[in-house]
Chains A and B, each alone.
Chain A
Amino acid sequence: DGGITQSPKYLFRKEGQNVTLSCEQNLNHDAMYWYRQDPGQGLRLIYYSQIVNDFQKGDIAEGYSVSREKKESFPLTVTSAQKNPTAFYLCASSTLAGGSTDTQYFGPGTRLTVL
């Protein structure tokens, strides 16, 4: 079955720690995205990547970092510089063939809590 996997499902971070959220897709999609969701709100873009070894900042990139060494993988690191990291993190991917009409598909999400 093709899809997007994220791990872990729940993650707890202590103050001052960096943590890495995993995102893997086997849909052969070129574009991958990281979104953050806060309670009762829609999603906001953190980072995106349209090709291997290239990625760009989204609307709320401060305190986050990413890498795209393989087409299938787009891990997100939440650094200690992120002052309010408690949130739900969703990874998405899509093709680039149809422009703004291509559907983005999402993984199951990672819920990060700062202790």
Chain B
Amino acid sequence: AQKITQTQPGMFVQEKEAVTLDCTYDTSDQSYGLFWYKQPSSGEMIFLIYQGSYDEQNATEGRYSLNFQKARKSANLVISASQLGDSAMYFCAMREPFYNQGGKLIFGQGTELSVKP
């Protein structure tokens, strides 16, 4: 079974600094996708960034980048130039293959990020 582990329950970062949120995963599949979502206090789950297992380059989306180390099975999220609006819960997730419950997402426990002014 696939598993996602986020070991940082809470993180603090100073505004305008960069922060790394850790995520490790476990899977026996060769083809898989890793996702990061942001959940602000309003509750909506906002998709941030995706990394495919066969992608040779690390994914980037604006201020978000994914530090993908396949051999270590880690997919850390890096947020550059933190803003106050980045304060939220962040979830790392992986999709199951479609033959397993329709490709449901497996989520980590989340990391609560607080940006200090």
Which residues of A come within 8 Å of B, CB atoms?
31, 33, 35, 40-43, 45, 48-50, 56, 58-59, 88, 90, 92, 94, 96, 98-109, 111
When the two chains form their complex, are residues A45 and B104 in contact, meaning their CB atoms are under 8 A apart? Answer: yes
> Which residue of chain A lies nearest to B44 when distances are taken between CB atoms in the complex?
A108
Known: A48-B101, A100-B33, A103-B50. A90 touches B45 (CB 8 A): yes
When the two chains form their complex, are residues B43 and A108 in contact, meaning their CB atoms are under 8 A apart? Answer: yes
> Which residue of chain B lies nearest to A89 when distances are taken between CB atoms in the complex?
B43
Residue B109 interfacial (CB < 8 Å): yes
Given the complex of chains A and B, what is the CA–CA distance between A74 and B96 in angstroms? Answer: 21
- Name the 3 nearest CB pairs between A and B, nearest first: A42-B107, A106-B45, A101-B33
Q: Which residues, 14 to 61 on B, are CB-close (under 8 Å) to A?
A: 29, 31-33, 35, 37, 42-47, 50, 52
Which of B29, B93, B98, B104 gathers the greatest number of chain A CB atoms within 10 Å?
Answer: B104
When the two chains form their complex, are residues B102 and A56 in contact, meaning their CB atoms are under 8 A apart? Answer: yes
* Residues of chain B contacted by A35 (CB below 8 angstroms): 105
> Which residue of chain A lies nearest to B109 when distances are taken between CB atoms in the complex?
A42
When the two chains form their complex, are residues A101 and B52 in contact, meaning their CB atoms are under 8 A apart? Answer: yes
